[in-house]
Structure 1
Amino acid sequence: MKTVYTLFILLGLVMDVEAQSIRKNYQEMTDYERTELVNAFYDIRNGADLFDDMANFHMEFFNFDNTADPTRLDLHFNLPDEPQREIFLPWHRRQMFELEQAVQDINPRISLAWWDTSIDQSTTSPLWNQNFMGSFNTNWSLNRNLGGNGPLPVPSDVSNLYGMSNFNTFSNELERRAVHRGAHVWTGGAMPTPLSPRDPVFFLHHTFVDFIWFNWEEIYNSSSFLRSSMLRYDGTYSFNGETLPLVNPNSITDTRSLGVFYGANGLANLNNYIVSNTYRPQEVFYYQFLIRVGNNFIVPSGTDCSIESVNEILMVPGFEATSGSRFLASIDVANQSNRPGIKTRINNPYKHVENLQEIVWEEDNKDDSPVLLQAFPNPFTEKITIKLNKNTDCSVEVFNMMGGLIRQEVFQNTDTIIINKLYGLAAGFYVIRVVDAKGDIIIAKRVVKL
């Protein structure tokens, strides 16, 4: 049974229970929440299979910096030199939200959770129990190799990110270094490949990445993007008969725009939020520990909101449920113990993908090959300067959009390559390749002529 803590019902209609989110470390989830999250993942996979759709999309648009088609947009590794293409953090935030909505269609009280890879690093962690993330490895043929491919981050890797006040620097370091990279390579299987969303732990990992961005934005409030839409979320992509909405990445720099909050260390602060029922006819916020509600948390007339804790809810100044709203705050004394338990978990292995390559990260560059540091300006008008991390003998080739070679120059023992007299080129996209003395392509870079 439930004991009502605080109750306001004013002129409101009773609606179907739906939900918004208080995300938390999976270790703060109740046993019921963990079970229901896993049950929902199996239901999603056995239905229209959003996991497979997301994985295939992720692979198709992963990264095209080394392709002959510079017009294609992509998801990864656009910083530091192509901020006009950057969508890594908001794209994955919206991806987490899409899966979370599918979970809440099944059980409205369940939110995504995160795996803190900087401290939770054991191969025998509860994360990998057969009743949680462990069962997917066999049932979905994920072929994980926990701990076999590289280290996880340490706490200082996370704290150092919070000292970076420039957003592009923060985002680039987060994406390319251990905090993001570590879980992918450490987990193995699908995770270090472009099909990584096949593994449900991908979503716990990226919820942690999103939590770090949430914390950074709370400090600096300065995330910004040059694009006004994102791949998949551009108003043209359909899944299971539904066209996904157009999403401007700048509209979701604050998770509150999605009704998403983060709880940590036994406390969830619900503040600076106006209930709108944009995504759900009733917004339900559920957390095992203390929920503190106030500081401009508003439930306007005509909206419906429920806040539910296993332990404690604290209403503080700044909370308002206006006349005509429906608001319920309650303590879940039974801790959902009377709800259904573990469902039958059906084997549903993914189809094998031939010649699937693992992602190449900067840290994986084990040989002594030159690495691109910067190519500027991009877009360009008359010349381009390419900075390498070491002196090298090389040739530089410039290709047009049709793949035709239009320029070639040879450089010797230099780390700075300057390509002059480009003013005669037509406006558009070009690809610049740097080829070493052995004929190997060491850099391929997409550039834009104004």
Structure 2
Amino acid sequence: MVYTRRDVSTLTRSDRRRFVNALLELKRRGEYDEFVRMHIEYYVPDGETGLRAAHMAPSFLPWHRKFLLDLEGALRRVDDSVSVPYWDWTRNASATAVPWTGDLLGGTGRASDRQVMTGPFAYRNGKWTIKAGVTDTRYLTRDLGRSAKPITLPTAKDVSAALADPVYDTAPWNSTSTKGFRNKVEGWGPGRPPASWRNHNRVHRWVGGHMVGGASVNDPVFWLHHAFIDLLWSRWQRRHPGARYLPDKPPAQGDAQHGRVVARQESLPPWDVTPRELEDHSRFYRYA
């Protein structure tokens, strides 16, 4: 059955409660931490060797689409009324707006250690202990807006600049690609941080805490953020009909990216599914 993903700001009180409760149940069962471990495993920067499937590569968008679908499937096995809402950070751009409310994700971390103290995912409630991460921290952390060195969230203008590019991706198929929608929305820009952080990347930095790095899935906002990135891919496809995932064929032997990126009809690890099969989401869900 095709279901609907909605803007998080339109959720009713009951919708919020059901979404939160489904996440907490996955956490209680131990299923949620498996998603965290998977993202850590596939968070491979282009400065390392080997295949890049999840980041700094053309498959950034289909990989996270499949990742979201798997999480959503798990949530819906708990409560089939639940889907992942999207957070439009160009509109809800303050640290007190949705989704940072006490009945949804809670707010920023306290000044001393960035520990989240409000909302259902606060460590002190006993239902959200960090068990899979890159540090030993047991509590969820955030630093909304980067208090010491403030930055702003991406704007509608930033998104429009990415959506305007008619090509999906270009060589060298990594974080240095200067053209192509994928890298512009993933957000690897020229120059030095924070100016080089664009769109997707800038949001991770703005949230801070656990959202910075491979263990970012520990913060449930990860899913709302990536649902919006997925929606932007859908909007790009509608704006550029006929444009499709690139590269269509694997980089040739001798190319620096040979064996390092996934072509359109190659299997996308860890699943037996290709980017081509994930280009159309309409058989799974729609966006309101």
What range is the shorter-chain TM-score in? 0.7 to 0.9
Contact 1:144 1:190 in 2 (8 A): yes
Q: Which residue of 1 aligns with 2:278?
A: 252
Deviations 1:351-383 (A, max 9, x none): xxxxxxxxxxxxxxxxxxxxxxxxxxxxxxxxx
> How much does 1:164 deviate?
1.0
What are the residue-to-residue correspondences of 1:48-447 with 2, within 5 Å?
48-50=30-32, 52-67=33-48, 70-78=49-57, 86-134=58-106, 135-139=119-123, 140=128, 141-148=139-146, 150-168=151-169, 169-176=180-187, 177-221=197-241, 222-225=243-246, 226-227=263-264, 228-233=266-271, 246-257=272-283, 259-263=284-288
SS of match in other structure, 1:146: coil
Q: 1:99 to 1:147 in 2, by over 3 A?
A: same
Deviations 1:297-334 (A, max 9, x none): xxxxxxxxxxxxxxxxxxxxxxxxxxxxxxxxxxxxxx
> How much does 1:24 deviate?
1.1
User: Percent identity, aligned pairs only?
Assistant: 29
Equivalent-residue separation in structure 1 for 2:13 and 2:76 (angstroms): 17
RCO greater where, 1 or 2, for CA within 8 Å and sep 6 or more?
Answer: 2
Higher helix proportion: 2
Structure 1 residue identity aligned to 2:4 = I
Name stretches of at least 5 consecutive residues in structure 2 with no aligned partner. Answer: 107-118, 129-138, 170-179, 188-196, 247-262
Q: 1:65 to 1:158 in 2, by over 3 A?
A: closer
**What TM-score do you get using the length of structure 2 for normalisation?**
0.73
Structure showing greater Rg: 1
Structure 2 residue identity aligned to 1:42 = L
Contact 1:117 1:179 in 2 (8 A): no
The counterpart of 2:24, out of the listed 42, 49, 58, is 42
SS of match in other structure, 2:5: strand
Structure 2 residue identity aligned to 1:95 = F
Name stretches of at least 5 consecutive residues in structure 1 with no aligned partner. Answer: 1-18, 79-85, 234-245, 264-450
Deviates more, 1:160-169 or 1:92-101: 160-169
Contact 2:45 2:56 in 1 (8 A): no
> How much does 1:146 deviate?
0.9
Higher strand proportion: 1
> How much does 1:137 deviate?
4.6
Q: Which residue of 1 aligns with 2:192?
A: none
Structure 2 residue identity aligned to 1:133 = L
Structure 2 residue identity aligned to 1:129 = T
Equivalent-residue separation in structure 2 for 1:260 and 1:184 (angstroms): 25
Equivalent-residue separation in structure 2 for 1:115 and 1:178 (angstroms): 16
Q: Which residue of 2 aligns with 1:22?
A: 4
Contact 2:154 2:198 in 1 (8 A): yes
Equivalent-residue separation in structure 2 for 1:77 and 1:104 (angstroms): 30
> How much does 1:261 deviate?
0.3
Equivalent-residue separation in structure 1 for 2:45 and 2:8 (angstroms): 34
Equivalent-residue separation in structure 1 for 2:141 and 2:36 (angstroms): 16
Deviations 1:362-416 (A, max 9, x none): xxxxxxxxxxxxxxxxxxxxxxxxxxxxxxxxxxxxxxxxxxxxxxxxxxxxxxx
Equivalent-residue separation in structure 1 for 2:160 and 2:35 (angstroms): 30
Equivalent-residue separation in structure 2 for 1:41 and 1:193 (angstroms): 21
Contact 2:36 2:218 in 1 (8 A): yes
Equivalent-residue separation in structure 2 for 1:159 and 1:196 (angstroms): 26
Equivalent-residue separation in structure 2 for 1:126 and 1:66 (angstroms): 36
4+ residue stretches of structure 1 with deviation over 2 A? 64-67, 70-74
Equivalent-residue separation in structure 2 for 1:33 and 1:23 (angstroms): 12
SS of match in other structure, 1:114: coil
> How much does 1:251 deviate?
0.7
Deviations 1:17-69 (A, max 9, x none): xx53211111112221111000000001111322x2122221222124323xx
Q: Which residue of 2 aligns with 1:435?
A: none
Contact 1:137 1:143 in 2 (8 A): no
Structure 2 residue identity aligned to 1:151 = T
**What TM-score do you get using the length of structure 1 for normalisation?**
0.47
Contact 1:55 1:197 in 2 (8 A): yes
Contact 1:41 1:103 in 2 (8 A): yes
> How much does 1:72 deviate?
3.8
